[in-house]
């Protein structure tokens, strides 16, 4: 499970990861920043440091995975919250 956050609104959303459906993207964006016209975050409302890698496939769908540097495993092992 991955947590995507927006440090402007102090919100977060959780997902199992992988390639997100359009519905999942909309749900996450609404949870992170549901304010119409707000441009505080990225494509799915993310802002600030993330514990996961957010990328896009050739169709423009969001893909959420563990960072290549293994920082998610380190984060989970230490419980770091900063």
* DSSP result, 19-74: EPPHHHHHHHHHHH---TT--SSSTTS-BS--SSEEEE-TTS-EEEE--TT-HHHH
What's the pTM value of the predicted model, to 2 decimals?
A: 0.79
- Backbone phi, psi, residue 55, to 5°: -135, -175
The token pair that represents 71 in the structure block: 């920082």
Q: Is the pLDDT of residue 77 over 70?
A: no
**Which sequence spans correspond to the domains of the chain?**
2-78
- pLDDT tens digits for range 28-64: 999 999 898 899 999 999 999 998 999 999 999 999 9
Given pLDDT bands bounded at 50, 70 and 90, which one contains residue 72?
Answer: low
The token pair that represents 17 in the structure block: 């990861």
Unique residue bearing structure tokens 């102090």: 10
Indicate the burial class of 69 (C-beta count within 10 angstroms; 0-12, 13-18, 19 or more). exposed
């Amino acid at each position: 499970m991955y947590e995507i956050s927006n440090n402007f609104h102090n919100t977060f959303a959780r997902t199992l990861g992988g390639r997100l459906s359009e519905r999942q993207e909309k749900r996450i964006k609404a949870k992170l920043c549901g304010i119409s016209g707000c441009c505080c975050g990225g494509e799915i409302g993310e802002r600030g440091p993330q514990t996961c890698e957010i990328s896009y496939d050739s169709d423009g769908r969001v893909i959420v995975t563990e960072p290549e540097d293994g920082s998610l495993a380190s984060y989970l092992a230490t419980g770091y919250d900063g």
